[in-house]
Amino acid sequence: MTTAIAWTEEPTSRPDRKKIRARIGGLHCSLCTGTIEKALGRIPGVEKVAVSRMHEHAVSVYVL
């Protein structure tokens, strides 16, 4: 699996949260998305993670 990652910060409705959208290429199956969601979800402070294979991005919300 070859992955290319680029990310941007997006505004949130809560000042104590940050939202990151990461562009992820090279996802071939739902196992790939599940692995990334699980890994990001284990990071302390991460509140929400969603990975889309079709759109090739991950969205993560975390506590500041």
pLDDT reading at 62 higher than 60? yes
Higher local confidence (pLDDT), 49 or 24: 49
Identify the H or E element spanning 7: strand 5-10
**What is the pLDDT averaged over residues 29-40?**
93
- Domain residue extents for the chain: 5-63
CATH number of 5-63, picked from 3.30.230.10, 3.30.70.100, 3.40.50.10210, 3.40.50.11720:
3.30.70.100
pLDDT in tens, 15-31: 999 999 999 888 889 99
Query: Taking 70 as the threshold, does the pLDDT of residue 4 lie above it?
Result: no
